[in-house]
Amino acid sequence: MLKLYQSRHPDIAVKSHVTWMVLSVVIIIGFGGVVKGGLLVWIPFFLAHSAVTFVVSAKIYYMGRCKFDRWIWKRMYQSIKMDIAASSFQPVYRGRFIMLTIAVLLNFSLDLFGLISQPANFGAFLLSVFIANLMMYLIYYSIMKIRYKEGIRWIPAMYMILSFICWGAALVFFLAKNTSWQVTPAESRERNKHCIILNFFDHHDVWHFLSSCALFFSFMVLFTLDDDLENTPRSKIIVF
State the Cα–Cα distance between residues 152 and 217, nearest whole angstrom: 16
Q: What is the pLDDT of residue 4?
A: 66
- Is residue 240 a contact partner of residue 8, using CB atoms and an 8 Å limit? yes
**Residue 156: which of 139, 134, 133, 172 has the closest Cα?**
139
Closest CA to 204 of 181, 177, 174, 165: 174
pLDDT at 114 (0 to 100)? 87
What does the pLDDT read at residue 212?
92
103, 57 contact by CB (below 8 A): yes
The Cα-based distances of 40 to 24, 46, 48, 120, 145 in angstroms read: 19, 11, 13, 14, 42
pLDDT value, residue 27: 82
**Average pLDDT of the segment spanning 92-117:** 85
- Any idea which of 75-89, 90-104, 151-165, 220-234 has the lowest mean pLDDT? 75-89
- Is 87 a residue whose pLDDT tops 90? no
Range of weakest confidence among 29-38, 125-134, 182-191, 199-208: 182-191
Residue 228 main-chain phi, psi, to 5 deg? -70, -10
How high is the mean pLDDT of the chain?
79
For residue 89, pLDDT beyond 80: no
